[in-house]
Amino acid sequence: MDNYRVKQGEVIKLKDIDPDDTSQFSQGKNKALEKLSELTQKLNALQEVLFAEHKHKILVVLQALDGGGKDGTIRSVFSGINPQGVNISSFKVPTELEIDHDFLWRIHQKAPGKGELVVFNRSHYEDVLVVRVHNLVSKDIWGKRYDQINNFENMLTEEGTTIIKLFLHISKDEQKLRLQERIDDPTKNWKFNPNDLKERALWDEYMIAYEEAINKTSTSSAPWYIIPSNRNWYRNLCVAKILVDKLSELKMNYPAPTVDLNNIVID
């Protein structure tokens, strides 16, 4: 999965990255689903140790354009994990109270504590994406936020948080198919929002905003991964593999018992 990691200082162009790519798994969809099942079981086991050890913190940041598959990724990759130690936080339009504070105020409150795995469905990056594209604040304000985000994430990592940032990369044609499916499929009608079409009209502006955000905030301690996401099975497989690899690197262990269990007999 290192092929999809954006190295610090690297300058990427999203048009040069193929959202149809499946090069890291050549055995096809059926085998991929079998592998995904294995990985989700490993992820569940790793999360159990994470929760028990109560030492590390995991933050997964999911970003994508409309139809990119954030919800589908969460369902497929995290469905088998004990909900006791996992929290999903979605960041939509900020409330009046949130607007009265700095843009990271509402984010920091949702950051993981020890033993927790937190998934951000959208995140603090909305403040250099949507905010930028729609001119909600001036460039003088959002232009400073890249450094502020880097400083915030650096503080989190120094305090023991592992940050995994994933951009789910789809093509404009694939987005069209997925939005059309929300209209054609009665079970998905509820997901359709006419504003999605207005946002789609700003595709090029979002590409520029994402490129700059990724290029300016992919650091050695909190790198971005650009996941080819036109094929859901491949997207889910990549995300699961990255998570399993990252959690495995922590070398976690169940804590030792606080008493000598050999001397305890339950009648």
Let me know if residue 213 belongs to a domain: yes
The residue among 8, 121, 130 whose CA lies nearest residue 59 is: 121
Let me know if residue 122 belongs to a domain: yes
Let me know if residue 105 belongs to a domain: yes
Let me know if residue 262 belongs to a domain: no
Is the Cβ–Cβ distance between 120 and 59 less than 8 Å?
yes
Let me know if residue 60 belongs to a domain: yes
Instruction: Flag whether pLDDT at 211 surpasses 90.
Output: yes
Query: What are the residues whose beta carbons fall under 8 Å from the beta carbon of 234, sequence distance 6 or more?
Result: 21, 22, 25, 32, 228
Let me know if residue 190 belongs to a domain: no
Instruction: Flag whether pLDDT at 170 surpasses 80.
Output: yes
Residues 212, 216, 218, 222: is their CA dihedral positive or negative?
negative
Summarised one tens digit per residue, pLDDT across range 16-40 is 999 999 999 988 899 999 999 999 9
Let me know if residue 136 belongs to a domain: yes
CATH number of the structural domain spanning residue 38: 3.40.50.300
Summarised one tens digit per residue, pLDDT across range 108-137 is 999 999 999 999 999 999 999 999 999 999
Say how many domains are in the chain. Answer: 1
This prediction's pTM: 0.94
- Which residue range forms the structural domain that includes residue 95? 2-171+204-250
Here the tokens at position 199 are 């946002």
Instruction: Flag whether pLDDT at 258 surpasses 90.
Output: no
Let me know if residue 159 belongs to a domain: yes
